[in-house]
Structure 1
């Protein structure tokens, strides 16, 4: 009996990317931006466009750091998935 080989599908591709992003760590990027925005709002110097730009930038930086970490863990043999 031969093992069945699953062809890659969009759901497994999406799941792989989702796992690489490690969404549970994105709060580490969101919280500082949220706190800074709350303080800016209290100081009457809140800018919506700046908030959105900083939020997107911080989330992308965190996601990139997660992916780089996964890549080097795999390359060193620490992560086999």
Structure 2
């Protein structure tokens, strides 16, 4: 998975750089395709890869997590 993510990232960045450096009629399409690839392909793949196997409830603000944070603040003082 990490090689696919790396390949997509390199392809998107290359597309953006080539779009800026080469003066052809479709250079704006290269830049736009690179940006769309970053936002609609790379970022979701990267987010899925990094969050795989984690419990989302650990990162949500619930009553239990608020109580844990308050207890930690009391212990620090």
Q: Rg: which structure is higher? A: 2
Larger helix fraction of residues: 2
TM-score, normalised by the number of residues in structure 2 = 0.39
Choose between structure 1 and 2 for higher RCO, CA contacts under 8 A separated by at least 6 residues. 1
